[in-house]
Structure 1
Amino acid sequence: MSAATARRGPLLEISSRTVVYGAVGAALYAVLGLFSFLIPGTQYVAVRPAFALVPFFGKRFGVIAGFFVGFVGNIVIDLIQGGGLTYWNWSVANGLVGAVAGLIFAYLPPIANEVLRLVVTALGAVAATAIGLLFVITDIPLQGIDFNTFLTLNYGPALLADAAAVVVLTPALDAIWEPLSKRAGR
């Protein structure tokens, strides 16, 4: 059974391993997430290739680590960029992407074929992104926008930008990690 699809312990277990991987992932996401750019014509939606780390950590290290990477990493990026906690709901949404990825991949059966595993990783990461980012619907009451504005200027562009990152980079990260995890016996 590959480490990529091996069922971990309890889904919501908090262990030293979870904390360490979550902290490392959040730090990586925070630093690499600074290399992003705003999509013109949107409400501060940025393309962040580093976002692919969020579903990757959810897949590889579980629900809690995935949530921590997305939530804390996004908060740190916003603080460094001067946004403060203004967009806290986007940090929660990023965390939910990691948590949903952890849930999706915890219940998938082992996949021996590498190409199929990478395709499933891409699809699972995109699904986790679409589901987790739905939390930003809270922009409607928080920012006083209508549903159309939410869909066309907030959720839609963020989903497209993040999906483009995760569909390519999450499977790439997983392809790099798989032989390392086998070598480590995990």
Structure 2
Amino acid sequence: MSTEALSPRHSPWRLNSRTIVFGAVGAALYAVLGLFSFVIPGTQSVAVRPAFALVPFFGKRFGVIAGFFVGCVGNIVIDLIQGAGLLWWNWSVANGLVGALAALIFTVIPPISNETVRHLVTALGALLATAVGLLFVVTDIWLLGVDFETFVFINYLPALLANGIAVVILVPALDAAWEPLAKRAGL
């Protein structure tokens, strides 16, 4: 099996037709599957979305641009379909940052041959990208006028917990399922 997401000869910043196609497919998948979510009671519209795992997965596999596009555009489409409009634009940017950071994190991790360790590193890398990318929602302090405690305990931590569980479980599973498909397709 392959031991890395992006080969060393490819830049995580590359922009080509493959990046555009996979970014668009990922955003569409995230937008459709992201509709199957529910809001955590007691939070400011923080939703549990298992489909969020697609964001760091696409970042890992297809680079910074595709990862950012999947997270940002996919989240914008979900918000538009659910009637929120562009009110929560900063959360869409945060989702995009998760995909971009995942690409950068997995680019610097050396190849790992042990499958169990590779899945563990994939889970931890996706969790790190999620934790750091979602910090962008600190902008809620200025945009919504919430205090720091509200940001941490009502916005950030519930989102990190919900999305963290999704990425720790689903990103390694998606990655393991993708590897044989990518080999057969020559990707």
1:132-171 paired onto structure 2 within 5 Å: 132-171=133-172
CA distance in structure 1 between the aligned counterparts of 2:186 and 2:35, rounded to whole angstroms = 33
- CA distance, structure 1, for counterparts of residue 146 and residue 96 of structure 2: 23
Q: Deviations over 1:42-76 (max 9, x none)?
A: 00000000000000000000111000000000000
RMSD, aligned α-carbons: 1.1
Structure 2 counterparts to residues 1-186 of structure 1, below 5 A: 2-4=3-5, 6-7=7-8, 9-186=10-187
Aligned counterparts of 2:61 and 2:115: Cα–Cα separation in 1: 16
The amino acid that maps onto 2:183 is: K
Aligned residue pair count: 186
> What is the TM-score when the length of structure 1 is the normalising length?
0.97
Whether the 8 Å contact between 1:26 and 1:68 is mirrored in structure 2 is yes
Once residues 167 and 2 of structure 1 are traced to their aligned partners in structure 2, the CA distance between those partners, rounded to angstroms, is: 18
Q: Tell me if structure 1 keeps the 8 A contact 2:6–2:12.
A: no
Output the amino acid matched with 2:103.
Answer: G
SS in 2 for 1:35: coil
Q: Deviations over 1:136-164 (max 9, x none)?
A: 00000100010000000000100000000
Identity of aligned residues (%): 73
1:34 aligned partner, one-letter code: L
TM-score between the two structures when normalised by the length of structure 2: 0.96
Q: For structure 2, list consecutive stretches of 5 or more residues without a partner in the other structure.
A: none
| Corresponding residue SS for 2:12 | coil
Residue 126 of structure 1, CA deviation? 0.2
- Whole-angstrom CA distance in 2 between matches of 1:62 and 1:115: 23
Q: CA deviation at 1:4?
A: 2.5
Q: SS of the residue aligned with 2:31?
A: helix
Quote the Cα distance in structure 1 between the aligned partners of 2:9 and 2:51: 25
Q: Which amino acid aligns with 1:111?
A: I
